Amino acid sequence: METSQSNNTSSLNIVIPGFDAVQLAVNNSTVTITASEILYTSSESSGPLETTDFVYSLSGGSATLSSTTPNSISTNGLITTLGIPLSGIPDGSEILKVNPASSSAIYNGTSTALSENIMSQGIQLYPDTIIVNSLTTSGTINTGSLIIDNLVFNEKTIGHSDDTDLITLENGSLIVAGDIYVSSDARLKSNITALEPTLMNLLQIEAKKYTMLADKEQKEKIGLLAQDVQKVFPEIVNTRKDGMLAVNYQALIPVLINALKEQNENYKELESQLSMLEKTCK
């Protein structure tokens, strides 16, 4: 029996007929079994596999199983994907095993039952959180969350306090040492149309001064209220997973450009009317 692990999956290669490989999703939500032949739930070599045909066991670590039975199943040919009813936060030391629920649960095409201990060596779960003081990488890291003090990508530092950092993250603020560019090539876009007049909508938004509830220093800020922006420009307001609203301030630039052009046209019209009035008065 041989095991291997990559950035995306943890694999178990089994020489016993039945399971060729078992792969774990990086978020520990599913396990995918590749069989050496089509498997069935009935001793008559018929019927699709069911969740009750499998049983989980989990040892070590801090996470547990809310049930030893998979919470979902999907089968496509030789490949069966099972949902993992995980409870708690994995620390990466948990060992998961998946086996037939009994010696009469799963059968192959010759009506031979698979051993209920076909997977004697388990798969190690991925840790949900990685905590490190310093991390240097040019590759990929898969984890639920990453807590770091110093992060280096290709010799460029992302930190939280040093003015020389490429990106500084501190107290909820993001400071970038260079310029920020957003992909805006026309070749990347479709359904391109002219923006409708924006001046009147823009005038409905009031700039505000405020402090953030989560800011311990209660530093005064200047900005907009997302609810106000959403009423007139819903396209640039996003609802976060926690229900809070966020504004794409950068998207206000074309809105302001459009409003400035409208104001300029209004100015030209007034200037023309004034010129005509002056001629009439002479």
Same domain, 40 and 81: yes
The backbone torsions φ and ψ at residue 75, rounded to the nearest 5 degrees and listed phi first, read -125, 135
Quote the CA–CA distance of 85 and 74 in Å, as a whole number. Answer: 15
Same domain, 66 and 119: yes
Residue 185 lies in a domain: no
Same domain, 33 and 15: yes
**Residue 268 C-beta-side C-alpha neighbours within 13 Å:** 6
Residue 182 lies in a domain: no
Same domain, 63 and 134: no
Residue 37 lies in a domain: yes
- Give the pLDDT confidence score for residue 279 in this predicted structure: 83
Residue 47 lies in a domain: yes
Give start and end residues of each alpha helix (H) in 86-172: none
The backbone torsions φ and ψ at residue 257, rounded to the nearest 5 degrees and listed phi first, read -60, -45
- What pLDDT tens digit does each residue of the chain (282 aa) get? 344 444 444 444 333 446 788 889 888 999 999 988 899 999 888 999 999 999 999 999 989 999 999 999 999 989 999 999 999 888 889 999 999 999 999 998 888 888 888 877 889 998 876 666 666 666 666 655 566 566 666 666 666 655 566 677 666 777 777 788 888 999 999 999 999 999 999 999 999 999 999 888 899 999 999 999 999 999 999 999 889 999 999 999 999 999 999 999 999 999 888 888 888 887
Identity of residue 229: V
Give start and end residues of each alpha helix (H) in 76-155: none
Residue 184 lies in a domain: no
Identity of residue 131: I
Last residue of a domain, one of 124, 142, 158: 124
C-alpha dist (Å) from residue 172 to 129, 133, 168, 262: 20, 19, 10, 36
Structural domain count of the chain: 3
Same domain, 108 and 164: no
- Give the pLDDT confidence score for residue 110 in this predicted structure: 87
Residue 199 lies in a domain: yes
Same domain, 27 and 114: yes
Contacts of 190 (CB under 8 A, 6+ apart): none
Domain that holds residue 32: 2-124
Same domain, 167 and 230: no
Residue 215 lies in a domain: yes
Tally of CB atoms within 10 A around 110: 7
Same domain, 7 and 120: yes
Residue 109 lies in a domain: yes
Quote the CA–CA distance of 231 and 110 in Å, as a whole number. Answer: 65
Same domain, 105 and 152: no
Contacts of 68 (CB under 8 A, 6+ apart): 55, 56, 57
Residue 62 near residue 89, CB atoms below 8 Å: yes
Q: Reduced to 3 states, what is the DSSP secondary structure of residue 234?
A: helix
- Give the pLDDT confidence score for residue 137 in this predicted structure: 65
Quote the CA–CA distance of 125 and 30 in Å, as a whole number. Answer: 11
**CATH code at position 277:** 1.10.10.10
Same domain, 211 and 152: no
Q: How far is CA 4 from the centre of its chain?
A: 26
**DSSP class of residue 161?**
S
C-alpha dist (Å) from residue 44 to 1, 18, 39, 105, 232: 29, 16, 11, 12, 64
Determine which helix (DSSP H) or strand (DSSP E) holds 258, and give its type and residue range: helix 252-281
Quote the CA–CA distance of 16 and 123 in Å, as a whole number. Answer: 17
Same domain, 66 and 153: no
Same domain, 205 and 241: yes
- Give the pLDDT confidence score for residue 176 in this predicted structure: 76
